[in-house]
A and B are shown apart, each in its own frame.
Chain A
Amino acid sequence: MTTPVLEVRNIRKTFPGVVANDAVDFTLMKGEIHCLLGENGAGKSTLMNIVFGLYQPDNGTIEVDGEEVSFENSRDAIAAGIGMVHQHFQLIPVFTVAENVILGSETTKGKLLDLDAARSIILDLGKRYGLHVDPDAKVGDLSVGEQQRVELIKALYREADILILDEPTAVLTPGEVDDFFEVVQSLVQQGKSIIFITHKLREVLAVADKITVMRSGTVVGTAEPSTSTQQSLANLMVGHDVTLQVDKTPAEPGETALVVSHLQVSDTRGLPAVAGIDLEVRAGEIFGIAGVQGNGQRELVEALAGMHKIDGGRVQMLGVDVTSMSPRQISELGVAHIPEDREKHGVVGEYPIYDNLVLNRYFKAPFVKRGVRQMGAIRAEAERLIQMFDVRTPSMDTLTSSLSGGNRQKTIIARELSQDPKLMLVAQPTRGLDVGSIQFIHEQIIALRDSGVAVLLVSAELDEIMSLSDRVGVMYQGKMVGVVEAAGATRETLGILMAGGTIDEARTDGSEHRGSSR
């Protein structure tokens, strides 16, 4: 347990205009689970991409097993015994599991591929580490959890001794996370050393042997899990004291603003994604939807916003049946939508900010007159919104793509609130943002609720759901498996629902279930 297997010293890496890593030191001991903690953009992934040979550092050294190494590319890193499971899986959906695993270090018979050999190796590895997966399945047909196992097998097949796991739990249910930690423990027992990248404080305390915290490209400290608390780690990560709690008064629900009954929606491949959902949201309350990503939340919100075809069921908003309405008709009713994917739906990055600020009203007076755009009116409105929502930008002519994530999200929120909505559909509002922006956005959402707006909030961050919502529904495989009052909900209860359990299970044997999976 005491020999260092990986030592990184004084690493610096710049991209044009950005210092991603500066004077970073990092040491991994053999058989250790070492958590690398930091906010989004703190430089964790950059550092690990350097260790994995994908980026070359501007200066600094890397030692593996006491010998200095220099990686031209990931092939060198793999040869040195380093494996990485990326946050976004690096798998090819149309290839089989076996093909994905051997790609780059193929098993051969003569000059030809030997898939039989690959199959048996994969089955062996699966047995040894508890990673069961069918070698002949197409990766595109696998669930996210299975894909993660393929990624692990890929690294183990390459005989990695050092495994870098980049945000591996983001896509898993709380129950799956526990199982995943067991796999990680078994890897360590068989002699592997693990670097675990995350921004989730709870997980750090659950598995880490050692913690290194990064902020804006530098290491700001190391900590022992035994002597750390969530609060102390959060302060270290952010650099100043942060409040983890959101202040809010009890809700005063008014009229019903959104009624969804038996809603059915297919995903882009034509498979059922929302399978008969009923829900109601009332004015002045926040209805949170929890669930692991990919259980139909995206399709639900997009269907409600009119962007996705509805296969069955009805949707009523503010007293109007909107089931077959277009996004524009729905928006005109007074429904605002903060989309899950900011880059894909929220803004046009190549437009100056002022165009994005009127994206929902560009076709209406005073922004257009007889088909001709009125730039004066557009700019005046943009000026007003930038002031009001404190969007930090050199000018309104700045291209939106050059704004920070937080300011881009503020731009979207400013635009959506500019129409005085009565119903808000909010999806993943703080994903990838810094703590300051997160607080601002949480305050805005609470303020909206207090002013009598009905809010439907979808988030993969359970903490966000629990701290903002008045009522919480949990989605699992396209169904609403339970709705609970936020005040009485615990992480364990919601976790069971998120894994497909029932309300009764969650209420009665919540703690036992958790206990048994340990």
Chain B
Amino acid sequence: MSSAADSVNAGRSVSQKRVSRPGQSSTKHYYFGAALVLLGLVLLIFVAPNLIDETRAFRLNKPPDPVQFEFKPPTFVGLAGAFYILVGFLTVLRDRLGSWTRFAAIAGVAFMPLLILAMALGRSDLSGTNVVNLLVSSLFLATPIALGSMTGLWSERVGIINIGIEGTMLGAAGIAYMTYALVGDGAERWALWLSVLVAILVGGLFALLLAVLSIRFGINQIIAGVVINLLALGLTGFLRSQVIVKSGVGTGVATPSFGIPLLSKIPVIGDQLFVGQPINFAMYLVVFLTWLVMFKTPWGLRVRACGEDPHAAETVGINVIRTRYMSVVLGGFIAGLAGAWFSLESSARFEDNMTNAAGFIALAAMIFGKWTPWGAFAGALLFGYADALQTRLQFLKVDIAGFEIPSEFWQMLPFAITILVVAGLVGRATPPAAEGKPFQASQ
């Protein structure tokens, strides 16, 4: 091997990519920093002076005698404004200061939920609000969204677009509750768990339908998803009026609350954070396992390979078709569990269309999280928080210039944020490369 020629070649390839890289790091952080500075100024000049100047509190547990953090809203929000101005400057100067400023920006963004709550208290007559409880209900409401987004991940990461999450959850919720109504006739504990199991299986079945349509028949995956949504809507409506209503079991018993040993004994917050319902807790496990299996195991690597380039996966001996079936159906099981959350955990009954677009919000969370498990979980949490906050604000009777903030605003928020994300205005989201493309094995 001639070393001279080799080094020429190596130099060529290296220079080709090194030279071009910096072009990609954009000027986006300038805009982001400027936006933060602007936000800080608005908070400082316009918001803070208009808040009630009385003592308010973030409580960690219920009255009487709560552990709480007291503050005066104008001071709090004013300091926050100053903080954002600082973070904004740090972000603009990122090139000089180094990448640690990124953490300041993340802290700034992560602080926003609390800031919104502080502003709300500053426009309310109530003296304080329980933040741990708000977190708990955010997590609870995030459960089906997080689970649904994991369904989306298992499907899309292996290359199958899944807009049928909504229908899968709805079908599972309906058929699970029907099972409960028929078998347990009410309060039997084993019937409840059987129904949860049925939900999971039904979820898998709907996903199998998606898989068969899009893998075996190669039909357009969007259409396959639409079919599933329409079918689930019709089927559950039919079963509700023909079976559930006639069984007389209109409501049942929800999955029981329980405390996690030791953790639930932590003073002040333990009995709030670590006492809850099983599907809610299972959600954390599902997210963790999704991350672990998808990114740390051989099978996960293969799943992702099938979603990026099935032909390349095939040439190294991976059975693309089987991997796709398995991954999509696995996702379906998760959506089934999410379905059970609706009809067996959050409320023990079934209503027509009770998932109410949660499947689409899950899709949004997945995209918000840029097709990663933790990102999707963060998205789900954000959307769960928006939902929980909406109720909390109504409770606090927050008003701005005599008007309450309409609940529709909060319901709209997740979708608007997701559009910004897909449009690349907030980071760039790249879906798996082979997503939506039918694959036929060579023969």
- A residues touching B (Cβ–Cβ < 8 Å)? 49, 52, 54-56, 73-76, 78, 84, 86, 90-95, 99, 102-106, 108, 111-113, 130, 132, 141-143, 145-146, 154, 175-176, 178-179, 182-183, 186, 266, 269-272, 477, 499-500, 516-518
Contact = CB atoms under 8 A, between A and B. Distances in A.
Given A176-B9, A272-B20, A92 B309 contact: yes
A92 B308 contact: yes
Interface in B331-369: none
B17 A141 contact: yes
A78 B316 contact: yes
A74 B314 contact: yes
Nearest to B4: A516
Nearest to B315: A90
A518 B6 CA distance: 11
B297 interface: yes
Contacts of A518: 2
Interface in B191-240: none
18 contacts: A54-B314, A54-B315, A95-B308, A99-B301, A103-B312, A105-B317, A113-B296, A113-B298, A142-B13, A143-B16, A145-B9, A145-B13, A178-B5, A179-B1, A179-B2, A179-B9, A186-B1, A477-B16
A103 B318 contact: yes
B319 interface: yes
A67 to B, nearest CB: 20
B1 to A, nearest CB: 5
Nearest to A101: B316
Nearest to B296: A112
B242 interface: no
Nearest to A137: B17
Contacts of B297: 111-113
A505 to B, nearest CB: 11
A517 B2 contact: yes
Given A54-B442, A73-B317, A112-B297, A146 B312 contact: no
A516 B443 CA distance: 46
Given A499-B8, A516-B2, 13 more contacts: A84-B315, A90-B315, A92-B308, A102-B301, A104-B305, A104-B316, A113-B296, A130-B6, A132-B10, A142-B17, A175-B5, A179-B9, A516-B4
Contacts of A90: 309, 311-312, 315-316
Contacts of B301: 99, 102-103, 106, 113
B10 to A, nearest CB: 7
The list of the 10 closest CB pairs from A to B, nearest first, reads: A75-B317, A104-B316, A143-B13, A106-B298, A90-B312, A271-B20, A517-B5, A54-B442, A90-B315, A92-B308
Contacts of A93: 308, 433
Range of interface residues on B (Cβ < 8 Å): 35 or more
B2 A270 contact: no
Q: Is the interface of B mostly helix, strand, loop or mixed?
A: helix
A396 B301 CA distance: 48
A141 B15 CA distance: 11
Interface string B13-45: 101110111011000000000000000000000
Contacts of A74: 314-317
- Among A84, A108, A130, A179, find the residue whose CB has the most chain B CB atoms closer than 10 A: A179
B17 A143 contact: yes
A106 B443 CA distance: 25
A165 to B, nearest CB: 14
Given A94-B308, A132-B10, A143-B17, A103 B23 contact: no
A300 B239 CA distance: 63
B316 A105 contact: yes
A84 to B, nearest CB: 7
B441 to A, nearest CB: 8
A179 B5 contact: yes
A99 B313 CA distance: 12
B302 interface: yes
B189 interface: no
- Among A76, A113, A272, find the residue whose CB has the most chain B CB atoms closer than 10 A: A113
B246 interface: no
A299 to B, nearest CB: 13
A132 B3 CA distance: 12
B102 interface: no
Contacts of B317: 73-76, 78, 104-105
Contacts of A143: 12-13, 16-17
Nearest to B317: A75
A434 to B, nearest CB: 24
B399 to A, nearest CB: 47
Given A74-B317, A143-B13, A500 B8 contact: yes
A498 to B, nearest CB: 11
B38 to A, nearest CB: 27
Interface in B157-207: none
Contacts of A270: 23-24
A58 to B, nearest CB: 11
Nearest to A78: B317
Given A54-B442, A55-B443, A108-B298, A103 B316 contact: yes
Nearest to B14: A143
A102 B302 CA distance: 10
A78 B16 CA distance: 34
Given A73-B317, A103-B318, A49 B13 contact: no
A272 B13 contact: no
B6 A94 contact: no
B319 to A, nearest CB: 7
Contacts of A106: 298, 301
Contact of B305 (A92, A112, A266): A92
A130 B443 contact: no
Contacts of A477: 12, 15-16
A175 B8 contact: yes
A52 B317 CA distance: 10
Nearest to B17: A141
Contacts of A54: 314-315, 442
Contacts of A271: 20, 23-24
Contacts of B304: 95
A154 B316 CA distance: 9
A154 B16 CA distance: 24
Given A106-B301, A132-B10, A175-B5, A86 B17 contact: no
Contacts of A108: 298
Given A90-B315, A143-B12, A143-B13, A182 B23 contact: no
A86 B442 contact: no
Contacts of B24: 269-271
A183 B9 CA distance: 14
Contacts of B19: 272
Contacts of B433: 93-94
Nearest to B20: A271
Contacts of B442: 49, 54-55
Interface string B312-329: 111111110000000000
B18 to A, nearest CB: 10
B76 to A, nearest CB: 42
- Among B8, B23, B317, B319, find the residue whose CB has the most chain A CB atoms closer than 10 A: B317
A130 B5 CA distance: 13
Contacts of A517: 2, 4-5
Nearest to A517: B5
A266 B301 CA distance: 33
B10 A104 contact: no
Contacts of B15: 477
A272 B19 CA distance: 9
A418 B408 CA distance: 59
